[in-house]
Structure 1
């Protein structure tokens, strides 16, 4: 039951169900997390609580985030305290359940739920007259980003027969991502495709990614739809920044600009100024948006948004201290996961390709997501999953190893951890 509750909690973050209150924004995520916490604490399910390093590393950053929020004002601090309490409770529940969580089944449930949300998103847009550009439902559109990550994880460890079907599904994602106009999802898909095809060999990934951008250029020049053509062309020049001065002065976008590029350009310029003025502790959690609403209220509404990128936002609002605590979680997750995978490779539970690919398939796309998306519960949950990934992987391997010993007491050479190793992955 807890497996389904945790999975539904994650899937609820992609649903357009929310309740605006005077203080916080409530989603089903908070209610499901609370229910999971009550069940775990009242049923005696968690005998002997565990607090691994991956959980403890989250606390300094989350605590600093709340302290920084209270430095702005009490209401802002209380709002952040409630949000951090919800995501902290989710991290606590997931930490206690990691010992008995069946990774394979959990990922399959996530994939099935994402496919349903994807179908709903596409059907809604088509029914409302949007044959392309499926980005008008803010929450459900994020499934375009996370579905490739989930599918890639299954591809990495699936058996030979199942992997053929998954590759067909992987190829079918490409036209959907192009039509959706979700640029970050397309770039993640391109990176994951290169990583999977080259089995995680970095020397081979570079030309593979370059070939992908050449293909992207060809598609952009042959595409008839103006919207898709513009979205593809902006991906070919990812470092281009919009001209927000042009919009502010003339009331219209410069030729070739997109609203998101212009907003990012404005946010980058303002955050650079604020970082130089408050480098160590930042301006305070959520204060960036307050500054925009106060000092730049004359600008168009599409410019007066928050920072789209956690690394930039944390440095701006929480300073060097906050960013250091945040980066520590990512660095620790990478090295701790590498140690777990090295040990699993040594004991023959996974192959070399799987050991190389898992950090690339999960950590790199998640870092790209939080680095380009606005802050919120989804960004914090992504951080929690990244931090706990070594524990989830280690306990998943132990669970499968124990099953293998019970079924074949004299042999553990054929691990069933998320399926068999990729053919040739031991090279």
Structure 2
């Protein structure tokens, strides 16, 4: 079951898809179906577990489906099928959280993403792209999630392996710069700051400022127009593209990128739609329909979906949908803080680990969904966030029992014991 669920996540990084007239199918749906059949047929899930995070997730998914049906029946059916696959994955993960060895699962994910990353770089170099490795849409997301997985390992790894991981961590920086994946580089800089500051916010603020200064110096030293332009967009995140200039002249204004121009157009249109439909929104997937029908004369690179779940949900699902969505994140942060504080109280983890865990896992995920187009990956990220307290609690308990050389008798309501894990640092 561990392999089915982790491979299901890894399949979202593969450029394998089948487009039908109704839905887009990936290996993810098949693997989730196999996991569901295996869990139900073998009796693994006799005692079902429904955490607060899972119930909050169901509330949001339900509102998303209702909002989709408000557009039309075909759109509602399409969203229902997609959310059924997503909900099945959430259900399977919720049941397996009590026995899933998270350290092994993270290792599998990291190895798989590293292989995908190597393939992505090799493909681009072979096709003459020495920089800007973003032409394979699905595999390029590994640039964003490899740093998150590595940072998670760095928190709990013992001192013997820590130096090796730091060498690997330093080595991926030039790859991120050459890839042109701005969100990946931004997440990497934040995680580096958090790890070096050991989660202390007072130390992180000046370190982040120093990191941006270093990025500015890098952008002036590197003699490459693409890298310089990508760095400048990170240094000036609030500067929006001039889509009116593109429409009027047929070319981009100096310093603009297609991504910035599209985001500027989407922000302007969504702001108008939010003011007209504040409570319920225009309906799930309706933003793209409006763009295609009312702005068909615009270039293709502008007629895309909103790149950012918080903005998209407010536009399409209204204030109600956004409140349900944000509630999942707030509950995850509060519940995860309780888990790590309890583990710290019993000496299972150190103070630095307790400070770092919420920052390393939740902040990068929020950055990702806040800057990426909606889809199965964004929903799977939300599922992992909603179940993160359970995965952390049960993972720590399983690791403790493994360190003590015995098997837990019951994982339904695990309790921390007053004995630290090997390698836990204060």
After the TM superposition, list the runs of 4 or more consecutive aligned residues in structure 1 that deviate by more than 6 angstroms: none
**Paired residue secondary structure (1:303):** coil
Structure 2 residues not aligned, in runs of 5+: 409-416
* Match runs of 1:28-427 below 5 Å: 28-406=27-405, 413-416=419-422, 420-422=423-425, 425=426
Match of 2:413? Answer: none
Query: How many residues in Structure 1 have an aligned counterpart in Structure 2?
Result: 418
SS in 2 for 1:166: helix
TM-score calculated relative to the size of structure 1: 0.96
Give the SS at the match of 2:301.
helix
State the alpha-carbon separation in 2 of the partners of residues 104 and 50 from structure 1.
21
Q: Deviations over 1:117-142 (max 9, x none)?
A: 00000000000010000000000000
Cα distance in 2 for partners of 1:178, 1:405 equals 43
8 A contact 1:404–1:412 mirrored in 2: no
Contact persistence 2:56–2:328 (CA under 8 A): yes
Give CA-to-partner distance per residue, 1:144-192, whole Å, 9 cap, x none. 0000000000001100011110000000010000000000000000000
The change in CA–CA distance for 1:285 and 1:408 in structure 2 (over 3 A counts) is closer
Deviations 1:62-90 (A, max 9, x none): 00000000000000000000000000000
Cα contact 1:401–1:412 (8 A) shared by 2? no
Give yes or no for contact 1:405–1:412 (8 Å, CA) kept in 2: no
- The separation in 2 between residues aligned to 1:40 and 1:263, in whole angstroms, is 43
Counterpart of 1:57 in 2: which secondary structure? Answer: helix
Q: TM-score, normalised on structure 2?
A: 0.97
Q: 3-state DSSP class of the match of 2:50? A: coil
Q: What is the aligned-residue RMSD (CA, Å)?
A: 1.3
> What SS does the corresponding residue of 1:230 show, helix, strand or coil?
helix
1:269-298: CA deviations, max 9, x gaps?
000000000000000000000000010000
Report the alpha carbon displacement of residue 403 of structure 1 after superposing the two structures with TM.
2.9
CA distance in structure 2 between the aligned counterparts of 1:412 and 1:124, rounded to whole angstroms: 50
Distance in 1 (alpha carbons) for counterparts of 2:369 and 2:382: 8
Distance in 2, Cα, partners of 1:277 & 1:205: 40
Partner SS state of residue 134, structure 2: coil
Structure 1, unpaired ranges of 5+: none
